[in-house]
Structure 1
């Protein structure tokens, strides 16, 4: 893998004591259901943080808030020292450029080649020269093991290959933050390992901040600096993966891990 391909922009992420991501007093409700309950949550630059917990505990909602796919009912969200919410739309768009997300579903453009799926946003959003964007896309396809699929349409790829294209597409924007939302949940079991291996390589060889929601506990143990256990919209336990997975303090955490491990 080329280190240049995934190098952070020149004005790099926040360093020192200030978190790169900060949620303060964030509440999100859907009807009468409170999904996030006055959540205080932060992530330091360069850290790999995994969110675990039962379905409906608020994990994916955090990612959707950071992508501005939904908005909080209360609280503030800050990324790299810039307000994401509440903030004017122009400022929101600038902050969003720092964040990439890989979804459960691949969301590739079916009418575009693999190469164009990866180059479309860098050219149209970042204003990159087409040749530069294509050179970066080819490097990223090599990274994810799909160098020979540049001209293929997504329909000609397996689910695992499509998800690896989606990872390359997110990385093509040179994000400071990569959000991963159950990226293997839509894959057949035999395709999961290849996608997770790509993400392990990215985690180990780059300084991209990663925020991951997953039920793949071995993967969480491998790549995480910190694991957060969510329940009912709150963080009930937090710590390094060795402690969370071998000696959790909370009974709810023990019960959850006992069910999924």
Structure 2
């Protein structure tokens, strides 16, 4: 970042390119969603919603179903029962002749393009340099011109503080740098919602703060909807509009972070927080 660049202004400018405006209406709706893996019921008749522009964090013990929610939204797996809607459109179902049927791949792709995800493992294309990692999907999926995609990519790399690394391969970057590239790549698709799945869990401790700072800036300066799974409780407290406590595939408590972290109502929530704070 150059000496005469205002970081806050850079983030605001990039944010305008990164995601569309929101109106506060319901963006995501899980309706009686059940997901099983063999005999294990990971999600059990789950009902919850997320409004556009809100930052919602999912907390709870490992195995409580949090990551499965993100994988369902990315259609990496599909629900056994119930429905999911994104922006008013069914995600894995579609209406035909007045009834709901499993959606075809074209319908799924159209709805899913509004969703971006940053994984625990960075999942960058190892054979592509940083700049192309950001431009490949906007060009091939969204049909953007190469010039427009590169302009947006440069803005986003400025946002995450990696402009000087755009000609490097992922293997030439640290883990923290790779994760920041992954965040920028997700934003390059202009998603309505950004899913964050334990994005610091694969990082060395000294690299965690830099990645969380980038996400705090995005949460503070953009309207993008965020659905976050994390064990970083201070980060969850900082960025969340709402916190959902999960246990055994259900939401057992929900509320603003100051109440969930300061005065939880459920014994299981208090037990969990006492172990992780």
Counterpart pick for 2:115 among 82, 99, 102: 99
Cα separation, 2, equivalents of 1:9 and 1:195: 18
Task: Give the count of matched residue pairs.
Answer: 259
Alignment TM-score, normalising by the size of structure 1: 0.96
User: Is 2:21–2:223's contact at 8 Å kept on the other side of the alignment?
Assistant: no
> Structure 1 residue 7 and structure 2 residue 9: aligned?
no
Q: Tell me, yes or no, if the aligned pair for 1:7 and 1:174 is still in contact at 8 Å.
A: no
Pick one of 237, 240, 245 that aligns with 1:224: 240
**Per-residue deviation, residues 121-150 of structure 1 (Å, max 9, x unmatched):** 000000100011001101111100101001
Q: Is this contact kept in 1: 2:19–2:187, CA < 8 A?
A: no
Q: 2:225: which partner in 1? A: 209
The 3-state SS of whatever aligns with 2:58 is strand
1:92 CA drift (Å): 1.1
**Pair 1:9–1:117, CA change in 2 (3 A):** closer
- SS of the equivalent of 1:127 reads coil
2:106 maps to which of 83, 87, 90: 90
1:213 shift after superposition? 0.1
Using structure 2 for the length normalisation, give the TM-score. Answer: 0.91
Q: Tell me, what secondary structure is at the counterpart of 2:15?
A: coil
CA RMSD of aligned residues (A): 1.4
Residue 2 of structure 1, CA deviation:
5.0
Do the aligned partners of 1:8 and 1:176 also contact (CA within 8 Å) in 2?
Answer: no
Alignment partner, residue 98 of structure 2? none
1:53 pairs with 41, 53, 60, which one?
60
Partner in structure 1 of residue 214 of structure 2 = 198
Given candidates 163, 169, 175, the residue that maps to 2:191 is 175
Match of residue 68, structure 1, among 67, 72, 75: 75
Distance 1:154 1:94 in 2: 29
> Using the alignment, how far apart are the partners of 2:72 and 2:219 within structure 1?
23
User: What is the CA-CA distance between 1:85 and the residue it aligns to?
Assistant: 2.1
Instruction: Give the corresponding residue for 1:242.
Output: 258
The CA deviation string for residues 192-226 of structure 1, in whole angstroms up to 9 with x for no partner, is 00000000000000000000000000000000000
The alignment status of 1:158 with 2:174, answered yes or no, reads yes
Gaps of 5+ in 1: none
Q: 2:45 aligns with which of 26, 38, 59?
A: 38
Mark the runs of 5 or more structure 2 residues left unpaired by the alignment.
1-9, 94-102
Distance 2:221 2:80 in 1: 37
**Cα distance between partner residues in 1 of 2:18 and 2:231:** 31
